[in-house]
Amino acid sequence: METRILGKIDGLNVSAIGLGCMGMSWAYGPAPDRNEMIELLHGAVDRGVTFFDTAEVYGPFLNEQLLGEALYPFRDRVAISTKFGYKLDPNGGPRPVGVDSRPKHIRAVVEASLRRLQVNAIDILFQHRVDPHVPIEDVAGAVQDLIWEGKVKHFGLSEANAETIRRAHKILPVTAVQTEYSLWTRDVEEQVLPTLEELGIGFIAYSPLGRGFLTGAIDAKTSFHASDFRSTNPRFTQAARDANLALVDLLGDVAKQKGATTSQVALAWLLAQKPWIVPIPGTRKLTRLAENIGSVNVELSADDLAQIDTVAGTLKVYGERYDEKGLQMVGL
């Protein structure tokens, strides 16, 4: 497996394709069999994946516990990132009820995550969402204290804008920023990616396959379980899916030329954007995992990339990333 370095200051070397683990526990319909997910995580390690992403709220807690158990035998070979920054429902509900990045709360979350992950230090600790009530300088300072104590190795931000990234980086070097990025979600290209390149910060692309849509396995006739957040997502209405299939067709055309799959071309496109971008597609199937990893062997020429960008630039993506309900979902 090819590797990439996140962050120029004390950079973290990880596999070029990581694994987003959220869907193994929640958000995409009923959770799969736990033992099967442990087997999948072991299979990822066997295939060279060294970066695994989770968060306390995935479950809540279930996903961290899953990774803690499954990856314990491989702790010297893998890096695990997790997140703080949400206020959980005191009544035990699955959705967070707000944001909370107070230093006291950050410390409490980290202590609990360390126990669930069965590690002595968290490889990358991400602020899950920016808290408008807590200055980012205070957040960075709290994480700095945890780094000094040996409980955290690297600091990251999720869905932060360029100004917030700059302010945080002045207090504590940011190793990576994690935000949704794919051919149908390209908001980060205008300000975030140029800022990261300037500052020497890595980028983690979550939902790099458009939450499954860019695989080509979803069309206007696809139905979703009521517990699958896509069932109420604006971009996954029947009309939006039908309209957005043009983008999948574009990827499919290139895939035929390359002897690859639609998913592999979508991931190869991301890998070709910058050498410090690491996509973290999620999956529940070993076959899909192997397919995603195979994207590192798909070479897109300058002409290929120009063709994709030219055609994609003429296509409108229909549907917002989130509805009001979806805004409360974590990391989606």
Residues annotated as catalytic are 58
Pairing of strands 79-84, 122-127: parallel
User: Cα separation of 3 and 25, whole Å?
Assistant: 27
Whether the ω angle into residue 94 lies within 30 degrees of 0, i.e. cis, is no
Strands 86-87 and 98-99: antiparallel
Secondary structure of residue 161 in the 3-state scheme: coil
**Buried/exposed 206-226: b ≥16 CB within 10 Å, e otherwise:** bbbbbbbbbbbebeeeeebee
Strand, coil or helix: 224? coil
Q: How many residues does the chain have?
A: 332
Contact (CB, 8 A) for 269 and 308: yes
Q: Which of 14, 17, 27, 18 is nearest to 57 (CA)?
A: 27
Is residue 11 within 8 A of residue 281, CB to CB? The reply is no
Distance CA(313)–CA(247), nearest Å, equals 10
Within 13 Å and on the Cβ side, how many CA atoms surround 47? 20
Are 53 and 178 spatial neighbours (Cβ–Cβ below 8 Å)? Answer: yes
Which of 233, 238, 237 is CA-nearest to residue 207? 233
* C-alpha to C-alpha distance for 152 and 262, rounded to whole angstroms: 37
